Amino acid sequence: MANIIMVETPKKESDASVAESPRSLLRRMRISFLASSALVLVFAASYGYLEYYYINDPVQGKTANLTVGGGAHRVATPVIGGLYSYHLFPMMLIFILTGFGPFFDSISFNILGRHKREKTAALGVANVISAVMVEDLSWFFYRWWLPLDIDPKKGLLMQASDWTTRSLGGLPIHNLGAFGNFVIPYWYLAAIAIAGFCYYIAFRRPR
């Protein structure tokens, strides 16, 4: 009887079965965090451009009488504090969807543990706060850099009489080169502190 030789062929592992190393996962997660942060800041600067040059603003006399609902609501009237309807939608919606992107991914696909989700949540908070500040700062940058002819404060950065300093005030800066005199709103400083702390939580290395 002829001997039957059994040859065992090596099993080929699928790509999905190969576990990703913690270092590789951490690197990919940080790249995702950086991409999300950069993207939301680009959106913020772009929205500041759109708001300054194109959105109706009664301060600059740009079509202040737009209404909806048979005149029941003026589009150019603040809804909450100094926030207009175009701040709440679509601006804040865009910032939240972009800034919390990694967090939504981790929830939807269950790809991260609870500790990592805390990091993505901290990243989202930091991104949204930073985006709101950058959007506001961008508006004044465009007013200083390339102002509209109808702007009564053209060529000026943030001033004490602007809406951004009315609630909390600002830190006066005098004769800073080409930027001239302006104020740094105190809420900018608070936003930087809170966002910086949240970014630290998001990007710190695990112990």
What pLDDT is attached to residue 99?
83
What pLDDT is attached to residue 118?
86
Angle (nearest 5°) at CA 156 between 163 and 146: 110
What pLDDT is attached to residue 174?
96
CA distance 158 to 156: 7
Are 102 and 33 in contact by the 8 Å Cβ rule? The answer is: yes
Dihedrals phi, psi of 27, to nearest 5 degrees: -65, -45
Tokens of 100: 């919390």
| Span 105-131, pLDDT tens digits | 655 455 555 667 788 889 999 999 999
Tokens of 44: 């913020």
What pLDDT is attached to residue 179?
95
- The pairing of strands 170-173 and 182-185 is antiparallel
What pLDDT is attached to residue 120?
86
What pLDDT is attached to residue 48?
87
Question: What burial class does residue 130 get, using C-beta atoms within 10 Å of its C-beta: 0-12 exposed, 13-18 middle, 19+ buried?
Answer: buried
What pLDDT is attached to residue 128?
95
Tokens 């029941």 locate to 72
What pLDDT is attached to residue 16?
42
Q: Is 44 helix (H, G, I), strand (E, B) or coil?
A: helix
Tokens 């601006």 locate to 91
What pLDDT is attached to residue 29?
75
C-alpha distances in Å from residue 134, one per residue of 70, 127, 142: 35, 10, 12
What pLDDT is attached to residue 15?
46
What pLDDT is attached to residue 111?
52
CA distance 95 to 125: 10
Tokens of 191: 């936003």
Q: Which portions of the chain are predicted below pLDDT 70?
A: 1-22, 25-26, 56-79, 81-89, 103-115, 207
What pLDDT is attached to residue 14?
44
What pLDDT is attached to residue 13?
45
